[in-house]
Amino acid sequence: MLLIWLLACADKPAAPCLEGFERGDGGNCEATAAQDTGDDSAAPTDDTGGATADDTGADTAPAADDTGGSSSDDTGPDDTPPGLPQGFSSGDPIRTVDSVRPAIDDNPHNGYESVDTIILEDRYAMSVGQGGWVLTDLDSGALLDAAQVDRGYYITLDEESGFVWVSTRQYGIYSLNVNDLSNVTMERDTWRPSEGGYSEDISVQGGRMMVSSSSGVSFFEMGSSGRPDEVSWFPATQAVGAAIHGDRALFTDGYDLVLLDVSELADPAELDRVTLGGKGHDIAFDGQHVGVALGGYGFAVLDVEGDALIDRGDFETPGSCFSVALDGDYLWAAAWEQAVLAWAGEGDAVVLGHEPITEYGLGIAASNGRAAVADWFYVTTMIQEPEVGGPELDVSDKLTMNPEGDSNILTFRNAGAQTLEITLSQPDDEAFSITETELVIEPGRSAFTGVDFSGGQTSTELRYTSNDPDETSGAVILSSAQTSVGSPHPDMELLGILPPDDNQTLYNLQDQTGSVVLLVYFALY
């Protein structure tokens, strides 16, 4: 049980707050100053980002007072709503155009996977993953073409040569000739940087290439033919994200973001290093604005000013965030559950809105107000409404409870730039009840309702309405868990292998009664 929540009152607003919390101006239970740590930027430990008491009201995203757009003095003559950048209006900033699932050999059960994507000719998106590459139209979202090539994890475009470079991790790097999109060819042999192990992220700009691996980053001069010429190496302890632009290069090194001067590519020099709010993954960098995906801790917005990195804030995402993309002053982020659009231009960085995706957001690219999401076995295309933002509701779609009876909390977060108002209805199933029916949440803050469950095997909907323009109504499934600590593990019989042998055999958990069994669920990402 997460915590003991006493359903002390049905009469609002007298419901008690947990120890360490107090009712704020909006009537919500919020962390007291002592608990609102504000130190989430430190290297995280086990902060799940979920519905724990310590998290509530202690978010890393800028609070309303921090956004600089919340006072009347700041809004200016155009009456910009609080929290939004100057001149923006209230509304839903993202619309999904289409989401397509490319099939291999027209077999609907055998699809192309997409884990990273780029924009070509400001018109197409090329995505890679297990299976090969997929080409979609950036305006219509339609599937245009696909072909089987080596599995790719990261993809980048060399705009000068018209070659696309793909990092495969364990097998190195190869290129695709995309100068004629009706005849895309896998052009060059797979190769690896001389230093480091698996190749991770890859970035090409201005005739130079940067490749990260776990033990450092490699720099290359792009030749006219053949593989690039390796000219230098910069050591790291856990490099993943890499981005080069002009005479500056960035890479993530565990929880650090490192800025290098690469004006002398043969001798890269460290200029600055900052600690991120989570372990760094993908980087977007246009020479000034920087976005960094932080896995379970969302994403960070920074600027490069001369020789320094300027922190502009961290932002939580719905699910882990592994990819970011810049489109002018806008930053897009792909999270497991939704795509996120943020403002990275002048003034305060703020999240403008979220948009649901089909499966899992793994990679993202954007250009001129359109975005393509590498959405695991889908490619999802989105379009942006310029200079628009609003409140943004972020809540789990389900809450499971101990079938023996349980009390829990359900956290609602406002990830957007305007005040979020939510009305909750008591569940129809009397086995469930909630403590709060009205929540008012300032930008970047969270609030929760207690959920009490008397027990049994049942489920119901907790319905709500909100002023989030793209989520005016919704429901959270409340259900008793089928499997929890103390209950018998269900009968489990699954096919499996014993590497390196790829012969599949049946593994039956019940056959192991009398032994202690550790099950570790995982995916390759």
Partner 1 sequence: MLVWLVNVGEDLADVNEYMIESGITLPVLSDPDGEFYNGYHREPAPGPFPVDVVVARDGTIAYLTNAYDATALRDVIDAELAE
The residues that touch partner 1, with contacts defined as CB under 8 A, are: 2, 46-52, 130, 151, 170, 295-297, 319-320, 336, 360, 396, 400-402, 481-490, 492, 494-500, 502, 504, 507, 509-510, 512-525
In degrees and rounded to multiples of 5, residue 135 shows phi and psi of -115, 125
**Could you tell me which of 338, 254, 337, 345 has the C-alpha nearest to residue 291?**
345
CA 425 vs. chain centroid, Å, equals: 30
What is the Cα–Cα distance from 102 to 369, expressed in whole angstroms?
Answer: 24
- Closest contact distance (angstroms) between CB of 521 and partner 1 is 4
Residue among 273 and 489 whose Cβ is closer to partner 1: 489
The residue with tokens 């430990």 is 45
Q: Beta strand 216-221 with 229-235: parallel, antiparallel or unpaired?
A: antiparallel
- 479: β partners: 400, 459
**Residue 379 burial (CB count, 10 A):** 30
- Closest contact distance (angstroms) between CB of 52 and partner 1 is 7
Residue among 220 and 297 whose Cβ is closer to partner 1: 297
Element (H, E) at 73: helix 72-75
The residue with tokens 């599995």 is 151
**Could you tell me which of 179, 286, 161 has the C-alpha nearest to residue 226?**
161
- Closest contact distance (angstroms) between CB of 360 and partner 1 is 8
- 103: β partners: 111
Residue among 108 and 514 whose Cβ is closer to partner 1: 514
What is the Cα–Cα distance from 159 to 145, expressed in whole angstroms?
Answer: 21
Residue among 4 and 517 whose Cβ is closer to partner 1: 517
Residue among 301 and 401 whose Cβ is closer to partner 1: 401
- Closest contact distance (angstroms) between CB of 243 and partner 1 is 23
- Closest contact distance (angstroms) between CB of 151 and partner 1 is 7
Residue among 174 and 360 whose Cβ is closer to partner 1: 360
CB 300 within 8 A of CB 276: yes
Residue among 2 and 103 whose Cβ is closer to partner 1: 2
- Closest contact distance (angstroms) between CB of 92 and partner 1 is 25
In degrees and rounded to multiples of 5, residue 166 shows phi and psi of -125, 130
CB 408 within 8 A of CB 451: yes
